[in-house]
Amino acid sequence: MRDTLKQLYNIEPLALIKCSDKVYQIKCENESYCLKYINHHDDGKVCEKLKALHIDYFAMPIQTQQRTITPTFKNKVIRLTPWIQEEYLEAKDIKLKYYLSRIGEVHQKTVFTSNVSISFYKETAAHIEELQTQALHILDKMMEDIERLDYKSPSQWYYTLNYTKFIKSLDQSKEHLNKFKELTKDKSTIRQVITHQNFDYSHVFIAKDKIISNEKMQICSPVYEIQSLFEHSYFGSIDLSGCLTEYFDKFTLEDYEIEWLLALLYVPIIKFYLGNDFKNLTNIMQSVFMVKSVEELESEIKK
């Protein structure tokens, strides 16, 4: 790896520290870098747009001497960024608010409108309908299996108590999808922004005013940013809808985007694992909390 780093970036590592299976800290004489294995090549368009707009909240990849940002090492795609020293901040609500404020600014500064085919929104609606059908099948199948049991585990009891809540959430998804269809039946444009789609508390460095792990950034609808935030993060006692005001103070969703987002978020997501009741109970609790969070989001977003 040392020879490869010298060849690609003209840097001479003093030490290579393995932080995880995908991340290495590369220590050099005057500075350190983060080398990360990622699962795709980056064409650099997002980086170019961020630079052109002078948006510097993200730890951006370093170009190789061949002017690429995702070279290949031993048949794996790598990405090199400046190393940002970990900061110790326990106040997760502050990190979340900072993140949402910065993402709101990025969306506000990068938004543009592009044309889409006549079938785009019909295909989008069909995809959501497929998600709804799959969710209903999983919910009903689990309920049928539980009803046959003489003895129910804690997770199964908890599921039966919340089954109607999940069905109601699915009905809400269908209502919002119908509104989305109505708003987009003659629509041939879409708003797009630069999205991050990789929130984690460990990716946020307030003191440095930086957000790391940006390999999932792409140009798409802002709907997918908020969907990613909800589906891949568990906020526990933190009031997510309240924190989202930091985002909405900077960027406002249009009506069709609101209905699109709510149609997606109201689809219950529950994963069951055979023989792992604790994990199942945790997953159901997270799903219940997500339904509550989406209800609060709807209330907040439609004020």
Provide the token pair at 64: 């190789």
Q: Which residues of the chain form CATH 3.30.200.20? A: 2-82
Residue 25 φ/ψ, nearest 5 degrees: -95, 125
Q: How far is Cα 274 from Cα 53, in angstroms, rounded to an integer?
A: 49
Question: For residue 242, what pLDDT is reported?
Answer: 78
Question: For residue 29, what pLDDT is reported?
Answer: 87
Q: Which CATH class is domain 92-301?
A: alpha beta
Contact 251, 102 (CB under 8 A): no
Distances (CA, A) of 79 to 38, 41, 54, 94, 209: 7, 9, 21, 29, 21
Residue 270 φ/ψ, nearest 5 degrees: -130, 130
- DSSP assignment string, 22-47: SEEEEE-SS-EEEEEEESS---SHHH
Question: For residue 26, what pLDDT is reported?
Answer: 93
DSSP 274: T
Q: 17: closest CA among 33, 29, 6, 30?
A: 33
DSSP 202: G
Q: How far is Cα 193 from Cα 108, in angstroms, rounded to an integer?
A: 8
Question: For residue 4, what pLDDT is reported?
Answer: 87
Q: How far is Cα 41 from Cα 23, in angstroms, rounded to an integer?
A: 17
Angle value at C-alpha 99, between 93 and 102, nearest 5 degrees = 140
Tens of each residue's pLDDT in the chain, 303 residues: 888 898 899 999 899 999 999 999 999 988 999 999 998 888 889 999 999 999 999 999 999 998 899 998 888 899 999 998 876 766 788 889 999 999 999 999 999 999 999 899 999 999 999 999 999 999 999 999 999 988 899 999 999 999 999 999 999 999 999 999 999 999 999 999 999 999 988 899 998 899 999 999 999 999 999 999 988 766 666 777 778 889 999 999 999 999 999 999 999 988 888 889 999 998 999 899 889 989 988 988 877
Q: Which CATH number fits domain 2-82: 3.30.200.20, 3.40.640.10, 3.30.300.130, 3.50.50.60?
A: 3.30.200.20
Question: For residue 207, what pLDDT is reported?
Answer: 87
At 185 the three-state DSSP class reads: coil
Q: Which residues of the chain form CATH 3.90.1200? A: 92-301
Question: For residue 128, what pLDDT is reported?
Answer: 98
Contact 219, 76 (CB under 8 A): no
Amino acid at 166: F
At 72 the three-state DSSP class reads: strand
For the chain, the farthest-separated pair of C-alpha atoms sits apart, in whole angstroms, at 67
> 0.85 exceeded by the pTM?
yes
Contact 217, 49 (CB under 8 A): no
The contacts of residue 107 (CB under 8 Å, 6+ apart) are 193, 194, 195, 222, 225, 247, 250, 251
Question: For residue 176, what pLDDT is reported?
Answer: 98
**Cα torsion angle, 163, 164, 169, 174, sign:** positive
Distances (CA, A) of 261 to 169, 223, 230, 295: 13, 6, 11, 12
Question: For residue 93, what pLDDT is reported?
Answer: 85
The contacts of residue 48 (CB under 8 Å, 6+ apart) are none
Amino acid at 97: K
Provide the token pair at 285: 């609790």
According to DSSP, the β-strands at 72-73 and 218-220 are unpaired
Q: How far is Cα 11 from Cα 253, in angstroms, rounded to an integer?
A: 44
